Amino acid sequence: MSIAHKIHKGEKPLQRRTTPSMVSPWDEMDRWFSDFARRGWLHPFTWEWPKEMETLAPFEGRMPSVDMIDRDDEVVVRAELPGVNKDDLEVTLSEHTLAIEAHTKREEEEEKGEYYRKEMTRGDFRRTLALPGGLDEDKAKATFTDGVLELCLPKLEKTSRKKVEVK
């Protein structure tokens, strides 16, 4: 029986992986199990509304973006920390290592007549970054504005940049 004949009778033909861009059923099953492990049994109430619930816990299952910029006289580290209050943020420097730790908690309560809803979410993360040598960690300065942490670490000696010719 040909594929065209099966389609005509309402049966679905097996998907064949003909190009690398096609997703195989095994890849789809692997993604499904990963999603289930991340949301299903760990957070059973988020199963039906995963996209809505992801916005409530900002660090659930992911790390915030961190940029490290190496300038001539300093190293600047910027971390995006949406939903974090300054009081719930801890920055630690020790032996060429930077640790950023944040906690978020949010409670929302709504009551209308016979209807009552209360949601509580919490999110924690800790990210550790290796810093280059030659920094004056005692003179580090940190600012936290609009959910962005910026840490400036001055260098002990100004570095000069040299261009390397690529052949």
Q: Is residue 114 part of a domain?
A: yes
Q: Is the pTM of this model over 0.85?
A: no
Q: What residue ranges in 82-147 does DSSP mark as E strands?
A: 89-94, 97-112, 115-130, 141-145
The alpha carbon of residue 37 and the mean position of all alpha carbons in its chain are separated, in whole angstroms, by 17
Q: Is residue 20 part of a domain?
A: no
pLDDT per residue, tens digit, the chain (167 aa), is: 444 444 455 555 444 444 444 566 777 777 777 766 665 555 555 444 444 444 444 555 567 789 999 898 999 999 999 888 899 999 999 888 999 998 888 889 999 988 899 998 888 888 899 999 889 999 999 999 999 999 999 999 887 778 899 99
Cα separation, 129 vs 126, in Å, equals: 10
Q: Is residue 3 part of a domain?
A: no
Number of structural domains the chain divides into: 2
56 with 49: CB under 8 angstroms? no
Nearest 5°: phi and psi at 44?
Answer: -60, -30
